[in-house]
């Protein structure tokens, strides 16, 4: 009997694991000097939800510095059942289109995702501290060997 390829599949436990980041969050961040911006403290509001039948975590954030919005992001996280890795499709207000998603996986409570482009390599490291807080470290490397911090932050759930 032929399998119905149009029939909806169900999310896997790996998809559900991303729900740890669902909710509304306030973040305190440190932005490091880079070719994109001067360094300094920032705050972010992050809103994330599980959507599309539980297959995706959709995350939007707005970063503020000195009372002004300076940066915004739209991230789509999922688990790729074909290659058994997590994927992050990342778009931001710098306007670069990523050639491919970041890819990676969990080790303990830490989700690490890496992507490369002609501009270099980016690594996103999300660590669950507890059910009401997580940390994020975004790093850049021209060669995917020596990583430099671009942003670090701690995010607390808004109740």
pLDDT tens column, 71-80:
999 999 999 9
Q: pTM above 0.85?
A: yes
Higher pLDDT, 3 or 95: 95
Beta-carbon-side half-sphere exposure of residue 29 (alpha carbons within 13 Å): 27
pLDDT tens column, 118-132:
778 899 999 999 999
Q: What is the secondary structure of the chain as a DSSP string?
A: ----TTSPP---HHHHHGGGG-EEEEEEEEEPP-SS---EEEEEEEEEEEETTTTEEEEEEEEEETTEEEEEEEEEEEEETTTTEEEEEEEETT-PPPSS-EEEEEETTEEEEEEEETTEEEEEEEEEEETTEEEEEEEEESSSSS-EEEEEEEEEE--
Ranges 21-30, 75-84, 87-96, 131-140: which has the least confidence:
87-96
Question: Above 80 in pLDDT, residue 40?
Answer: yes
């Amino acid at each position: 009997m032929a399998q119905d390829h149009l029939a909806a599949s169900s999310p896997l436990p790996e998809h559900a694991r991303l729900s740890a980041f669902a909710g509304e969050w306030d973040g305190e961040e440190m932005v490091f000097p880079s070719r994109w911006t001067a360094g300094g403290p920032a705050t972010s509001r992050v809103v994330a939800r599980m959507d599309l039948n539980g297959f995706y975590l959709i995350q939007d954030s707005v970063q503020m510095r000195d009372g002004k919005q300076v940066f915004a992001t739209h991230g789509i996280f999922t688990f790729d059942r074909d290659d058994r890795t997590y994927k992050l499709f990342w778009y931001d207000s710098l306007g670069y289109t990523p050639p491919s998603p970041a890819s990676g996986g969990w080790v303990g409570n830490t989700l690490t995702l890496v992507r490369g482009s002609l501009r270099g390599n980016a690594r996103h490291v999300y660590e669950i501290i507890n059910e009401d807080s997580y940390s994020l470290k975004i790093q850049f490397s021209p060669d995917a060997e020596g990583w430099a911090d671009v942003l670090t932050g701690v995010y607390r759930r808004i109740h």
